[in-house]
Structure 1
Amino acid sequence: MSRYFEELDYQITPLGALSLRRRRDIASGEDIYEIKLNDEFLMSSKFTASEKALATLALRALSGEGYKVAVGGLGLGYTAAAALDDPGVRTLIVIDALKPVIEWHEAGLLPLGKQLAADKRCRFVHGDFFAMARSPETGFDPLNPASRFDAILLDIDHSPRHVLKSENAVLYTFQGLKKLSEHLLPGGVFALWSNEPEDPAFTEVLTAAFGKARAEPVVFYNPIQDREARQAVYLAWKAQTSS
């Protein structure tokens, strides 16, 4: 392989062909890590502002300390690492349906892998976040069934309207979001990453399901397209007391 491009791993998964690539950005000289599923880019280390914002915005919306946090989607680890930067986080579980992604981090193939694996607050869980979301009785943590969280952060689909699997779309309905809210502690926050700008219609669904919600724009410069890029983080709060 050229030193400018290297495929670090390639595996066939139940979702399709998964690959991890590293390439040299000629303009900046930095190494860029990319994860692809079939022909779609799942993540690139070239753009991480909104993945980090997903964690910082969600945790900023909480008060107190000793937070229990669940993250749906490990990817390159930027959301998990940003969450662990908050000293208020006591435990963090990161759920991913693609076992190779977890193995890449554990093996140190990714820049943040060793950091995440070495943090005693952090644990990787191989599982289907969407199936787990439908079952508050078992929940997201196999070691602590029915555990509830102060924050649930989700970064798997491209947006509520652009999903990786058609079955995932149920989560973004009123019924799916109400079921997800059962995994939160009173006053807890659900945060969702979207590769697309804010969608007022989806914010309305979130508000109906949780009672309080808003969308936060994340704007950054895209040097590849030489223009401003606009993504979004949605935030929704569970009421302090059940109605």
Structure 2
Amino acid sequence: MSTTQQTVPMLEVRGLSTGYGNIPVLHDVSFEVPQGKVTAVIGANGAGKTTLLSTIAGLIPATSGQLMLDGTDISRTPAASRTAAGLALVPEGGRLFPFMTVRENLELGAYSLGRDAGMRQRIAEICEIFPVLAERQSQMAGHLSGGERQMCAVARAMMSRPRLLMLDEPSVGLSPLMTERLLSTISDLAASEALTVVIVEQRVTEVLAMAELAHMLDHGRIMKSGTAGEFRTDRMIQETYMGR
């Protein structure tokens, strides 16, 4: 692989704007996500974080701008095709199908693999990463604990073997201990599966401890970008988001 190819970001967001009807939400948002890194996006409620991830995933159309996934323009690519290209989103709350079993939810995450050896092999791999799910395969997803549901949502997204995993507020409703366990699992996934991760998270202290890079979104605009270390020592970030 050439040096040029190695330096292509996994995700490039260029001048992205979008909204809901006549209400603008994102304004000329631009940033890059390097391959193999964990990148955090922080910001107050209503800053546009969920809209940003949903637009990248293709669930909300952009009004202007460009999205590049590993050097390929996906700006007008349907959401399902973005998933096939290696992008996966874990939405806020996980959005599992509560009246389906854990295994059935996992299978939905890899429908493109078909019901063959590839599907079975991937479920076996995922259950090694998430042992609690191996024990719960036949259980209804709606009967899982909050932490188990989030683990299942992440596992379902991983079934498609994504290159870029995006997570929207994965710690919502979880205890500090379960949050620590979940974020640790995500960090391990990023390392073991050569995965690029974009994570939106309200628990800023915890997410900056696991991320390498960070962006601050405010009123639909990127107001600050840098390393997670720079964010951790920034007085404004500390006072606004870290309670210091």
Superposition TM-score, scaled by structure 2 size: 0.34
Identify, as 1 or 2, the structure richer in strand: 1
- Work out which structure has the larger RCO, using CA pairs closer than 8 Å and 6 or more positions apart in sequence: 2
Identify, as 1 or 2, the structure richer in helix: 2
Superposition TM-score, scaled by structure 1 size: 0.34
